[in-house]
Amino acid sequence: MRALLNAVKTGFAEIWAHKMRSVLSFLAIAAGSVVFIDAFSAIFATYDRLEKQKEVSGMARLKITQNYSQTYASPDDYVAPPAFTYDDVVSFREKMPEFYMVSPEVKDWHDVVEYDGRRMVTNLMGVTPEWIKRDFVYKLRGRFIDWHDIENKLRVCVLMRKSAPPPTNGFFKSMMKKWNFTQGFDTLVAHNDLLGKTLKIEGFTFTVVGILEELPYSKRPNIILGSSGDYKVLAPLTTLSHFNFISPGQSLDVSIDTGDEKTFDESLRRIKNFLKIRYGDDEFFIIENQLELIRERIGDSIKASLVTISLGMLAFIAGGIGIMNVTLATVFARTKEIGIRRAIGASRGDIMLQFIVEAVMLGLIGGVLGSAIGWLWGGPVKIMVGMDPSDIKAWMPLVSVFIAVLTAFVFAIYPAWVAAGLKPADALRAE
């Protein structure tokens, strides 16, 4: 233990005596730490998003949409795809009662809302109470649309309150301003408590029964699949149909959560069967498997992160070679000292320990430096340059320092072995 302490003391003296050489060694190792932390935070952020995404989309989420891309030999052969109507949804639900969620939805774009003498544009979305089963990422005030609203086609609505946009750069800000037609509506909802109030949508009076508050961007899981729909005003699907917001021939998109991943394939088969029996051909519809999509995205993301990790490892190896080079140079520069130490009684082990401890100290300081830079880069710097900050866990810098130390240790073994192998008499003769 005492020998180790003395080796540490001598190591500090050596590092201090050769500042430039030491700083370059630190930087070589630090580069590895920075890349490592960045790559690991990217991988873990992806895993986190997968978990959250699974929670939100359910373990077995599907979406049935109309297939607009059928090909025909001649325009005369074209048959308009049949619509998936609300009656179809009701029938589907009756046949699949064990599914966790069967949520039909339909969008109506660019509706004019009037409130307190102001007019603005918004999007309307017709849904049923099942909609709430998936997007619990929203915080609800008031109540959601219920079956009573659906059956009686009541003019009630739930408004979406947008959260503050994520930090972004000037270009995206200006693009948002240009293309976001519903900004006026967003501002209205953000700055007025509309719960219980009435507003006019395309001339029809609707009562606001609930406000869904969007979670902040940092806590939102749907980034991985892009926008899951820019919801503004949710209203009973039957009401929108009754008041002609949507035409009778318009097909509904149906989001389905079969509730059980194990029976997913069987459920899929039953859904296809239903479509085939009801419409004669299941090609009229596309069944999107969202879980598959999530997995693909995650896979891509992990592949990209693995490339970054390999780069981090290469950076560590380069740093290790740097340390090996520095340690070898130190051995040759201090050959006489090695001879002196051997002459006064130092064993081979003492000499090896000396050089390994010095290299490990270079690795340790470099690793700590790299972790600090990695943390700064992952957080404050990324935010400053308009990138998404990395989610750096507390253990990542620790592991990174450990790898830096381990790299330095491994790469110091050879030079230390060379130093310990010098014959005392030969070493003493060195100039």
Per CB under 8 A, which region of 128-136, 137-145, 203-211, 343-351 contacts other proteins?
Answer: 343-351
Cβ proximity to other proteins, 79 vs 344, nearer residue: 344
Per CB under 8 A, which region of 304-312, 314-322, 342-350, 361-369 contacts other proteins?
Answer: 342-350
Residues 119-138 that bind other proteins (CB under 8 A): none
Per CB under 8 A, which region of 161-169, 190-198, 311-319, 344-352 contacts other proteins?
Answer: 344-352
* Residue 404 backbone phi and psi in degrees, to 5: -60, -45
Strands 233-236, 198-201: pairing is unpaired
Cβ proximity to other proteins, 231 vs 355, nearer residue: 355
Comparing CA positions, the residue from 47, 49, 36 lying closest to residue 306 is: 36
85: alpha, beta or left, given left = phi > 0 and alpha = psi -120 to 50?
beta
Cβ proximity to other proteins, 61 vs 342, nearer residue: 342
Among 72, 345, 385, 394, binds other proteins (CB under 8 A): 345
Cβ proximity to other proteins, 262 vs 423, nearer residue: 423
Q: Which amino acid is at 182?
A: T
Minimum separation from the CB atom of position 20 to other proteins (A):
17
Cβ proximity to other proteins, 205 vs 347, nearer residue: 347
Minimum separation from the CB atom of position 342 to other proteins (A):
7
Comparing CA positions, the residue from 93, 76, 74, 72 lying closest to residue 84 is: 93
Cα(251)–Cα(238) distance, rounded to whole angstroms? Answer: 13
Among 342, 352, 355, 390, binds other proteins (CB under 8 A): 342
* H or E segment to which residue 272 belongs: helix 264-279
Among 4, 13, 277, 314, binds other proteins (CB under 8 A): 13
Question: Site for other proteins (CB under 8 A): how many residues?
Answer: 23
Compute, in degrees rounded to 10, the torsion defined by CA atoms 325, 328, 334, 337. Answer: 140
Q: Is 142 exposed, middle or buried (0-12, 13-18, 19+ CB in 10 A)?
A: middle
* Residue 120 backbone phi and psi in degrees, to 5: -150, 170
Cα(302)–Cα(296) distance, rounded to whole angstroms? Answer: 10
Helix (H/G/I), strand (E/B), else coil: 233: strand
Among 129, 142, 184, 424, binds other proteins (CB under 8 A): 424
Cβ proximity to other proteins, 164 vs 344, nearer residue: 344
Cα(248)–Cα(260) distance, rounded to whole angstroms? Answer: 33
Cβ proximity to other proteins, 291 vs 356, nearer residue: 356
Cβ proximity to other proteins, 121 vs 428, nearer residue: 428
8 is an interface residue for other proteins by CB under 8 A: no
Cα(255)–Cα(294) distance, rounded to whole angstroms? Answer: 15
Per CB under 8 A, which region of 150-158, 261-269, 280-288, 417-425 contacts other proteins?
Answer: 417-425
Q: Find the distance separating the first CA and the last CA of the chain, reported in whole Å.
A: 32
333 is an interface residue for other proteins by CB under 8 A: no
Minimum separation from the CB atom of position 355 to other proteins (A):
15
SS3 content of the chain, % helix, strand, coil (to 5): 60, 15, 25
210 is an interface residue for other proteins by CB under 8 A: no
**CA distances in angstroms from 373 to 24, 70, 361, 383, listed in the order given:** 15, 54, 18, 14
Radius of gyration of the chain (CA): 33
Cβ proximity to other proteins, 35 vs 331, nearer residue: 331
339 is an interface residue for other proteins by CB under 8 A: yes
Burial 377-393 (b: 16+ CB within 10 A, else e): bbeeebeeeeeebbbbe
State CA 312 to chain mean position distance.
20
Per CB under 8 A, which region of 124-132, 271-279, 357-365, 422-430 contacts other proteins?
Answer: 422-430
348 is an interface residue for other proteins by CB under 8 A: yes
428 is an interface residue for other proteins by CB under 8 A: yes
Per CB under 8 A, which region of 109-117, 185-193, 301-309, 420-428 contacts other proteins?
Answer: 420-428
344 is an interface residue for other proteins by CB under 8 A: yes
Minimum separation from the CB atom of position 415 to other proteins (A):
19
340 is an interface residue for other proteins by CB under 8 A: yes
Minimum separation from the CB atom of position 426 to other proteins (A):
8
12 is an interface residue for other proteins by CB under 8 A: no
Question: Which residues contribute to the site for other proteins (CB under 8 A)?
Answer: 2-3, 6, 13, 17, 336-337, 339-350, 423-425, 428
